[in-house]
């Protein structure tokens, strides 16, 4: 299958949208099935978008494969590790958001309590200031 993937990727280097015209014998069932298997693999890995067995288009990951000199195995590994990192990051972000929502009521009560103490201290200061003015 690697051989057919290389053929497909070499053809895609030439143009963005491709119709099969690369010398593959479509009448040989074994060759045709391996070629279709390679196309399906590339579609599953999001390298190409398959319109039919003969029409396909290069996707973003496919462009990265082409930039990486058709090293599709390495590009797929890098993409999978990026996806894994993003999934872990989103999971951690979700956990932190849930923890913040859990602690929000406590924080809100602390803020109310602090505001209440601030108002009381301001009133006490006003009383002391007025007492000082009256005593003069």
SS (H, E, C) 77-123: HHHHHHHHHHHHHHHHHHHHHHHHHHHHHHHHHHHHHHHHHHHHHHH
Calpha distance 89→83 (Å, rounded): 10
Domain span at residue 87? 72-136
Number of structural domains, the chain? 2
- Domain identity same for 48 and 76: no
Ranges of residues in the chain whose predicted pLDDT is under 50: none
How many Cβ atoms from other residues are within 10 Å of residue 21's Cβ?
8
Q: Is the pTM of this model over 0.85?
A: no
Calpha distance 12→49 (Å, rounded): 12
- Out of 14, 39, 70, a domain closes at 70
């Amino acid at each position: 299958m690697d051989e057919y993937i290389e053929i497909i990727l070499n053809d895609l280097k030439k143009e963005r949208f491709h119709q099969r015209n690369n010398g593959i014998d479509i009448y040989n069932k074994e060759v045709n099935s391996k070629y279709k298997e390679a196309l399906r693999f590339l579609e599953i890995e999001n390298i190409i978008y398959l319109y039919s067995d003969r029409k396909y288009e290069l996707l973003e990951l496919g462009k990265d494969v082409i930039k990486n000199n058709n090293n599709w195995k390495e590009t797929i590994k890098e993409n999978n590790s990026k996806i894994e990192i993003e999934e872990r990051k989103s999971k951690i972000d979700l956990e932190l958001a849930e923890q913040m929502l859990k602690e929000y009521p406590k924080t809100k009560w602390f803020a109310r309590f602090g505001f209440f103490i601030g108002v009381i201290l301001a009133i006490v200061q006003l009383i002391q200031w007025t007492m000082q003015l009256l005593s003069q």
